[in-house]
Copies of this chain bind each other. A is one copy, B any other.
Amino acid sequence: MSLRSALLALISAGPMTGYDAAKRFAGSVGNVWYAFDSQIYPELRKMETEGLLVTRPVPWGTKGTTKTEYEVTPEGRAALTDWVSTPLTYALERDPVRLRTAYLEWTDAETARQHFEDHIAHHQAAAEQAYEQIRELTDRTHPTLQRRLENYPEAEAEQMIEFKLMAYRGVCARAEAEISWARECLATLRG
């Protein structure tokens, strides 16, 4: 159900095509929730039939072609409120890195070292992307934010920014915890 919620949240900023949504899932929102294009289009159509979204054909180009823009309905807004208000059922743990770490005796020290280096590199990249999002939010150049600033009053927009900052700070915190854990593991390996 989270893909659906992510789409509602995203489109709540203003009307958007499936393509627009897909780009955001590959970019900013993708730091928090990634979705494949092949999932997005069918889900949007399903959400339309369920009344959470409405479509509007928008002329595109010169040859009378159109693209389909989706917009959140009042029912969609209700579903969004509902999702944000309902406690999550936390997913059962499924962590390949920790699983593999527990069985590193099945490989050699050099490979183990390399795994932790990779882990650090991966989370450094993740942290950097999150920091970039934080920068864009702080200096108001964030693209989706721009849409929101047009559609919502100033005070509410400030609130929104605060929550998005919280989310990305969480991504950073997570990444940094992973990095220091991996560094400690490297130290233990050498020790």
Contact = CB atoms under 8 A, between A and B. Distances in A.
Interface in A37-66: none
Contacts of A138: none
Contact of A5 (B80, B99, B167, B174): B99
A189 B163 CA distance: 9
Nearest to A129: B93
Interface residues of A, number: 65
Given A32-B98, A174-B174, A107 B84 contact: yes
A132 interface: no
A103 B84 contact: yes
Interface in A132-191: 156, 159-160, 162-164, 166-171, 173-174, 176-178, 180-181, 184-185, 188
A118 B163 CA distance: 17
Contacts of A184: 169
A159 to B, nearest CB: 5
Interface of A: 2, 5-6, 9, 12, 29-34, 80-81, 83-85, 87-88, 90-108, 111, 114-115, 118, 122, 126, 156, 159-160, 162-164, 166-171, 173-174, 176-178, 180-181, 184-185, 188
7 contacts: A6-B99, A12-B106, A33-B94, A85-B107, A87-B114, A93-B171, A98-B170
